[in-house]
Structure 1
Amino acid sequence: MGKTNVKHKSAKSGRKGLPGVCANTSTASSSALSSAALKHLSPKELCQKAVKATNEFEPQQALNCYKAALAKLDSQSPAGAATASGDFGASEQLSMALQCLQSSAFILLELGRVEEAQKLLNRAVSLSPDEGYEKYMYLAQLSEEKDAVELYLRGISVVNAAMEVFFSLSLSAASQESSFILSGAVLKLFVFM
């Protein structure tokens, strides 16, 4: 009889080792954070919780965290402040807002909530039209005919612009390094004379 209990326990513990495979709503809701708990977290902490919830196959909890993070980010700065000002804090807030919008949209698409996802992706486009090609590609997939082609082309142009910046920075860094090496060699030559 003792062996039967041991086998039964190990079978149960084996199932616990695979979170999200057999989603049990009572388990998922027991680990969910309350709205009050979300209010005390920073946007960055909320994004981290959302990523964790996504990885644990808890899409509704992830959406709640992203929504709370967006609300905090919106209340901390006006919509255009992050793009208008060049300071690091504003760009970090913009980056977090874009992460929240796009990640929420991706989750909503997985859940079949297409219209809600489109609204979030369009908001991401309005916040940062020149960065992040993904939002354009997803919107293109959700669009038809000419609109889809235009969105794909816009996404491709964003990728091309990012590649140009990357290559120009790489060339600039390489030329600075070579001029530094060259000036060091000239200095050494001058010292030896």
Structure 2
Amino acid sequence: MQPTSSMNEEFLKKWQMGLQIFRPSIDNTSVHERKKAIKLSADVAMASLRKGTTCWSRALIEKTATEDNFLVRQMLSGIKAETLINKKLPKKTVCHRKIVRRSKKILRRKSKSASEEAAAKAKRLVKRRTQGLRNVVPGGELMSNDVLLLQETLDYIVSLQTQVNVMRSIVDAAEAEIER
């Protein structure tokens, strides 16, 4: 799945709008604050492309709304910003540590054949990798369904590719301007 040129154009428009909103506050700030503003506006632009239809976009909107509510409202104009900002994500389920430890001990006690051990090892590997995905994708820790997690991950990757393509084209244009 490659991002389309219309996605690139839409992202660029929304990102520019976010940077223009931040412009007055960026001029007299440190490099760290500028980087934070650029990242924040890029995140909101990327999430607004999906209009809150994916878990990762809602998670990014919720995260950025707590940091800069004005920016989010401005960039999400026309997408029912209030409903997206105020929409709560499902709570993460928490297991008690003692219960988890006890169940793992019980599973270890049972003797297993070689094929069962290989299957268990593969299952642990998949579980570890899935947990890694949950940590990387915004809102991933709230998804209990692995299929949904993979779909969201693919969609998030396409959005990140869009962001990278736009940033590359900006850098290429700036380098071409410098060479003149």
Could you say whether these structures have the same fold, taking a TM-score greater than 0.5 normalized by the shorter chain as the test? no
Higher Rg of the two aligned structures = 1
Relative contact order, higher structure (CA 8 A, sep 6+): 2
TM-score of the aligned structures, taking structure 1 as reference length: 0.25
TM-score where L is the length of structure 2: 0.26
